[in-house]
Structures are given as C-alpha cells and as structure tokens.
Amino acid sequence: MFDTNTISRFNTLETPFYYYDLGLLYQTLNACITAADKYGFHVHYAMKANFNPKVLAAVQSVGFGADCVSGNEVSAAIANGFDKSKIVFAGVGKSDREINTALDADIFCFNVESIQELNIINELAKAKNKVARVAIRINPNVDAHTHHFITTGLDENKFGINGWQLNEVADTLRKCANLQFVGIHFHIGSQITDLEVYKSLCVRINEMQDWFEDHGFQVKVLNTGGGLGVDYHNPDQNPVPDFEGYFKVFKDFLHIKSGQEVHFELGRALVAQSASLISRVLYVKNGQKKNFLILDAGMTELIRPMLYQAYMKIENLTREFENESQISNLKSQILKYDVVGPICESTDCFQKDVELPESFRGDLIAVRTAGAYGEVMASRYNLRDGIQSVYSD
C-alpha cells in the first residue's frame, strides 16, 4: 500500500527501480528477532535473498548472523559488520579459494554438502594449521510442497549428503584432525507456506541427531535452514510473516537437548515484503485476442515470474490513486492485460490476464513483494541499464 506522497515522489523519478520500505523492513526484522528470542533460537540471514547494502545494514543492526553461499558473500558479510562468529557457509560447490577465504575469516561453521568436500576442507585447514568447524548438511528427503524449481531436500536434488552415506561421513570425521564437528544442517526448500512440512522436518532432524549421538558425536547445533514463505497474494493484509507460529513448530517438535543451539537461515521471509519493483507503462497494445501492457522493466530487472512461474501481485498505482479520489461510479473500467517487459524473449511476461483499471502510457506499475530474489537476480541481458534502488528514507 503506497500513500499519495510516495506515489507523487515516484512520479518525479526515472523508472524502473526497486523501492524499499525501510520501516516495514525493520518491523519485520524486529518481529522475527522477538519471536526467536522467546526460545533462545539463533537466526542467520540468508544473504542470497538480498545483499543490497542498506538491507544488509538493517539486518546486521538488529543482530542476525549471516548465511553465505559464496566466498564473496562471506567477505561482504564481514565488510558489512556481521560478526564472524555468526557466519555460516553453505553450497555444493565451494571452490578452494572460497574455502580459504572462510578459513582466513575464522567463520563459525561450514555447512558441508559432500564427503569429498569434507576431505578438501580438512586439507586446506591443515595447510593453514587451523581447525575448521563443520556441520553436515543432510538431505532429509522431505517434500517441501513448494514449486519443484525451489525444492532442495529430496533425494533427487543435488544438495546435501544422503542418509545412506552417514557411516562414511562418520569415518571421515574421525580421521580428519583439522575438522571439528559441530552439528547437522538441513534446508528443504523455499516459499514454504504449509507449516506441517516443518513438523516432518523436525521428525527427520530428531532421527539424525540420535544417529550422530549413537555414533559418538556430540551434536551442538541443529540448523534447520530457511524457507518460510510470504503472502504474495495479499501483501497489504499480511506484510509480516507468522514468525511466532513458525518457531513454535520447532520448539514443540524438535528434541532440543540441554546446551544445544537451534539455528535458522531465513532469507525471503525477512525481506520480501519490504520492496516493490516500480516501472512505467511504455506502450499499450490492444489486440483482438489480448491486450498487452508493455513495461519499462522486464525479466532483466525481476526474473522470478519468468523463471519459477511465480505469482507476484501487480498494481497500477496511477489509476488506483486516481480511483481513490473519485466517487465509486466514476471508477475506470477493469480490463485484462498480459503484463510484459521489453526484453526480446517471449518468456518476458510478468503475468497473463491481469485484471487492472484501464491503463495508459506513463502509468506507474508496481510489482509487489519483490524484496527477496529480485534486485540480486537482475542481469544486464540486452545490455540493459543496471537497476536502481530508492528508499523510503
């Protein structure tokens, strides 16, 4: 929901740009921290969701750790003031250079995704005369009930170590003198809206921690990953996710032993609702079968709808603002449009058959809930300009 001052401000700016509502961002971060603190849970922000420096500054200021998936993310977390002892590093393909970056930084822990990787981290740590803390990322084979492109915890996915390899993991850990086992790590997928899924994950985590304890390993950390979803359909009604309900599932269903730490890696839930992509209608094409709204933003600025068939709410800010100030019987008629971008690809379509007030060249269009995996996935394809950001402050 944008107020009239904000829309007037947009009217003076060149489009497209991401607009960040920093007030909502802080409100969301604080809601999450409050809910996590209730149970003493630790949250690492999944930086991949958005590494815009203003967003990182906000996340860091409320005390979250950082969940990184590249050496550059580790370096950026440190440069942005995140505590090294609260940095975790995951990823199926960590290069030697990236591992060395993380070893030099003495990060809290590597989330290790294969037995071969365990051996390589051990070798590189040995060369530096260091001991690397590691958690084993286990593929729990739990279906996240989300889009198959963003499911990660099934046997068919490339992530993590499968249950049948655990004996070999235990042998490797025993013989690697430069590794210190700290715990187990999971991540089953993203945009998970059915909390029941997390109950199934808890059952698997409990089984796995028993396995490690039975084989003589103390499990200090249970890292449950991220994935909590947001309401893409009703951003104004549900701007802040249900962090309380989410953490309560883990409190109720995990067997948390005394002295054990429970870690989370939330990305989307913390940042998605706080940004929108703002663009303008360049052209309106009225066809016999279809009407097209051609925007000045496309898949180069926001690729989620094209890559994952993701729904993201589209609004015509100019007409809605106008309608608000008119009496209801003067409201402009509603039409159906395919809302598309300018890129030379047929897939460059935000959404088909969107019902919008009759729209015209120059109207401001918002694509809502774009704060996660939006700006950070932008590209320069077609040699487009880089995307700009505008902030509520």
Distance CA 181, CA 159 (A): 19
How far apart are CB 44 and ligand LLP at their closest, in Å?
Answer: 8
**How many whole angstroms separate alpha carbon 275 and alpha carbon 239?**
11
Q: Which is nearer to ligand LLP, 10 or 264 (CB)?
A: 264
Indicate the residue among 102 and 372 with the shorter CB distance to ligand LLP.
372
For position 225 contacting ligand LLP by CB under 6 A, the verdict is yes
Instruction: Decide: 227 and 195 in contact? Cβ < 8 Å.
Output: no
Cα separation, 219 vs 183, in Å, equals 5
Measured distance CA(305)–CA(314) in Å, rounded:
11
Task: From 95-103, 266-274, 350-358, 379-387, give the range in contact with ligand LLP by CB under 6 A.
Answer: 266-274
Nearer Cβ to ligand LLP, position 254 or 272? 272
Residue 267 CB, nearest approach to ligand LLP (Å): 3
How far is it, in rounded angstroms, from Cα 240 to Cα 310? 19
- Does the footprint of ligand LLP cover residue 304 (CB under 6 A)? yes
Contacts with ligand LLP in 148-177 (CB under 6 A)? 150
Binding to ligand LLP, residues 183-202 (CB under 6 A): 187, 190-191
**48 Cα distance to chain centroid:** 6
Phi, psi of 14 (to 5 degrees): -80, 135
> Which tokens is 280 given?
């303008």
Segment lying near ligand LLP (by CB under 6 A), choices 201-209, 222-230, 253-261, 355-363 = 222-230
Smallest CA-to-CA distance from 255 within 187, 194, 209, 197 is with 209
Distance CA 64, CA 29 (A): 9
Provide the token pair at 259: 């002295």
CB 151 within 8 A of CB 157: yes
DSSP state of 161: B
In the complex, the smallest distance separating the C-beta of residue 126 from ligand LLP, rounded to whole angstroms, is 26
| Count of C-beta atoms within a 10 Å radius of residue 159 | 22
222 counts as binding ligand LLP under rule CB under 6 A: no
Smallest distance, ligand LLP to C-beta of residue 362, A: 30
Contact call for residue 369 and ligand LLP (CB under 6 A): no
Cβ at position 272, least distance to ligand LLP in Å: 8
User: Is position 49 an interface residue for ligand LLP (rule: CB under 6 A)?
Assistant: yes
Span of 30-38, 198-206, 260-268, 337-345 interacting with ligand LLP by CB under 6 A: 260-268
**Contact residues for 293 (Cβ-Cβ < 8 A; gap 6+):** 281, 284, 337, 338, 339, 340, 354, 356, 359, 365
Which one of 241, 267, 357, 371 is in contact with ligand LLP (CB under 6 A)? Answer: 267
> In 3D, which of 58, 208, 178 has the Cα closest to residue 66?
58
Determine, following the binding rule CB under 6 A, whether residue 67 of this chain makes contact with ligand LLP.
yes
DSSP character at residue 365: E
Q: Does 146 bind ligand LLP (CB under 6 A)?
A: no
* Shortest distance (Å) from residue 350 CB to ligand LLP: 14
Contact code string over 238-257 relative to ligand LLP, x by CB under 6 A: --------------------
Identify residues 101-140 at the interface with ligand LLP (CB under 6 A): none
Q: How far is the CB of 36 from ligand LLP (least distance, A)?
A: 14
Residues lying near ligand LLP in the complex (CB under 6 A) are found at 46, 49, 67, 90, 150, 187, 190-191, 225-228, 265-269, 304, 308, 372-373
